[in-house]
Amino acid sequence: MMITSIYNSSTWVTTSNPVGPYISPGAASAGMLRYHNNQTQVYDGNAWLTMGGGSSVGLTPNAEEALTWAWLKMTQEKAAQDLAQKHPAVADALDAVRLAEQQLQTVVALCTV
């Protein structure tokens, strides 16, 4: 199966130049590629079309910020867990944080009922 185009309506993903040749899936030899006269071409079932420009897929600034935050949080938690293996005081502090988070979730749940 060949991707013929990319369209976007997402908060998290961006696209540019979301166009491409239509490739008729029933046509003989459709989708074949060739390099001809310094150009990449695709056969759409009727004619050879020059591929050009290009499309791109990326993340929106919100998605990049969320991933950066998650990576930082994950790195911080891993460092704290590593320290907790060596230092009992860090392990105790992490236990206290977990207990406080559980208590907060309980209080929030009670307040939203």
Average pLDDT, the chain: 84
Q: What is the pLDDT of residues 8-18, one digit of tens each?
A: 667 888 777 65
Q: Greater confidence, 43 or 67?
A: 67
pTM score, whole prediction: 0.55
Contacting residues for 83 by C-beta, under 8 A, at least 6 apart: 90
Label residue 21 exposed, middle or buried (CB < 10 Å: 0-12, 13-18, 19+). buried
Q: What is the pLDDT of residues 48-66, one digit of tens each?
A: 888 766 667 788 999 999 9
Q: Greater confidence, 54 or 80?
A: 80
Return the domain boundaries, the chain. 13-59, 61-111
Tokens encoding 68:
């950066």
Confidence of residue 1 (pLDDT cuts 50, 70, 90): very low
Greatest alpha-carbon span in the chain: 73
Cβ 22 vs Cβ 42: under 8 Å: no
Q: What is the pLDDT of residue 53?
A: 63
Q: How far apart are CA 88 and CA 57, in angstroms?
A: 46
